[in-house]
Amino acid sequence: MKKIYLVLVILLLTTACTGSYLKNLNFKNLNKKLDNKETFILYLSAEDDGSKTLKNTLKEVLKKHKLTGYTLNTEKLSDKDLQSLKQKFNFENSNFIIFVNKGVEETVLARITDVYISTTDLENELKLQGFIK
């Protein structure tokens, strides 16, 4: 019994220490966030090599500034959900960051589409968008 408690404590500590700053989001929960007029950082990915570079940079910046962002893998969506998402955000290819303010993307010009963006440039954009003070 002690071994079970020890394993549970280790798992709990490991999970607590690695706190996820970039949380996975499904299409249903994305729609809830939009309907609730929430403000958040959304990373749409197709999980290729370029997306891993952008994802890692985003994770690093989110962790540094103790921010939470959300990621949605567009490859895991049904055709219907993908079409609906494309209508909401008007895009062809994934692997970019959207800044949602009160449930809407105010401008496509603020999107981060450079998968090789530096942490400094990403931090500057997050400051400009009001996510970093």
How many angstroms separate the CA atoms of 33 and 31, rounded? 5
Q: Tens digit of pLDDT for each residue in 47-95?
A: 765 668 999 999 999 999 999 999 999 999 999 999 999 999 999 888 9
Q: Is the pLDDT of residue 9 over 70?
A: no
Q: Is the pLDDT of residue 110 over 80?
A: yes
CA angle 85, 88, 91 (to 5 degrees): 70
Which residues on neighbouring strands pair with residue 97, listed in sequence order? 43, 112
**pLDDT level of residue 5 (50, 70, 90 thresholds):** very low
Specify whether the CB–CB gap between 74 and 45 falls below 8 A.
yes
Question: Taking the domains of the chain in order of start, what are their residue ranges?
Answer: 20-128
User: Residue 6 to residues 12, 17, 51: CA-CA distances in angstroms?
Assistant: 10, 16, 37
How many angstroms separate the CA atoms of 83 and 15, rounded? 35
pLDDT of residue 13: 44
pLDDT of residue 51: 64
Model confidence, pTM: 0.82
For 20-128, CATH gives 3.40.30.10
Query: Which of 109, 104, 71, 69 is CA-nearest to residue 88?
Result: 104
